[in-house]
Amino acid sequence: MTAVIDARGLGKKYRRRWALSDCTLSIPAGRVAGLVGPNGAGKTTLISLATGMLAPTTGTVTVLGEQPASSPAQLAKVGYVAQDTPTYASLSVEDHLRFGAHLNPGWDARLARKRVEQLALDPTKKAGKLSGGQRAQLALTLAIAKRPELLILDEPIASLDPLARREFLQILMESTAEHELSVVMSSHLVADLERVCDYLIVLVDSRVRVDGDVDSLLASHHLLTGPRRDTATLPASQQLITESHTDRQSTFLVRSTEPILDPAWSVAGVDLEDLVLAYMSGASARSQVRQPASAAAQVNR
């Protein structure tokens, strides 16, 4: 299994604040990976490191086996749609296609033209006059038509209305299937990711909280409800993510690869949104009690 993004102890520090710390992850090829976390968790920092827009303070990151943005060949293999989907406001849609053709040896002009036709974009219209959704589609077209192996998208849909969001994801999924792309996409909108992602990374407070295959993550997380009991009585094989208690009842979200055998529990599955929210709120609960960083890191893995 080759990794599209491989990070080892990756960290980035701005003046005094760590935007990302001790990030170790390996995103396998052929997946649509969702990078989720609250605002300010370090999603954009991680993506900027992976696209070579930033240099790491600690650790290393390789993308498709090479240092990001290290050569034209490496750049050609990665399509990147940056946050707010930047385009040249004074250039027309047609000019953007020329731009792509001139700057990318692997440019697929037929594909680009087809996309523009499908989107019903006026080729003579200046990019500055397009709607947010159209601009995002144009940026995606540029990224896909260079025929990359990996597509990285940073909050591409955050600023779009629900309809444009749905369209964008649909086209993204079609292209992914058609061209066998690997995708890494960040968002704080879990519901959107749930529809498209088969791999998940949850980033909270500049750290990776959990990462893995969506199906196996869902299969290994259980919501346990039963008579009130202490967390210390849970078996070692069950890793506690969140807990809540009433006078007589306890509810735990646990991660366990083994089946839950205790008959006192009523066991329920979780969906992706529950899981992500559990990891996010679990982190905030922990940061309140100021658990040492090393212990938090153990919980992560």
Q: Given the rule CB under 8 A, which residues bind another protein?
A: 44-45, 48, 51-55, 69, 71-73, 75-76, 78-80, 82-84, 86-89, 91, 95, 98-100, 102-106, 139, 142-143, 146
- Closest to another protein by CB, 16 vs 102, is 102
- Least Cα distance to 166 among 188, 138, 136, 126 occurs for 136
d(CA 87, CA 39): 24
Backbone angles phi, psi at 76, to 5 degrees: -65, -25
The single residue listed with the structure tokens 């078996």 is 235
d(CA 82, CA 248): 50
Instruction: Name the nearest CA neighbour of 244 among 200, 287, 285, 198.
Output: 285
Q: Which is nearer to another protein, 102 or 301 (CB)?
A: 102
Nearer to another protein, 84 or 213 (CB): 84
Q: How far is the CB of 284 from another protein (least distance, A)?
A: 24
**In this complex, which beta carbon is closest to another protein, that of residue 99 or of residue 267?**
99
Amino acid type, 256: S
DSSP element (H, E) containing 13: strand 3-14
Cα 185 from Cα 195, distance rounded (Å) = 13
Least separation in angstroms between CB 200 and another protein: 23
Cβ of residue 67: shortest distance to another protein, in angstroms? 12
84, 114 in Cβ contact below 8 A?
Answer: no
**Residue 149 beta carbon to another protein: minimum distance, rounded to whole angstroms:** 13
**Least distance to another protein, CB of residue 104, Å:** 5
- Distances in whole angstroms, Cα of residue 198 to Cα of each of 68, 86, 190, 222: 24, 27, 13, 19
User: CB of 224: closest distance to another protein in angstroms?
Assistant: 41
Q: How far is the CB of 163 from another protein (least distance, A)?
A: 25
Least distance to another protein, CB of residue 235, Å: 43
Q: For residues 105 and 235, which CB has a smaller minimum distance to another protein in the complex?
A: 105
How many CB atoms sit inside 10 A of residue 228's CB?
A: 11
Which one, of 267, 193, 160, lies nearest residue 202 by Cα?
Answer: 193
When the beta carbons of 19 and 208 are compared against another protein, the nearer one is: 19
The DSSP result for 170-212, as a single string, is HHHHHHHHHHT-EEEEEES-HHHHHHH-SEEEEEETTEEEEEE
Start-end of H helices in 78-184: 93-103, 109-118, 132-145, 162-179
* CB of 34 or CB of 42, closer to another protein: 42
Closer of 72 and 123 to another protein (Cβ) = 72
Would you say 143 and 80 are in contact if contact means Cβ atoms under 8 Å apart? yes
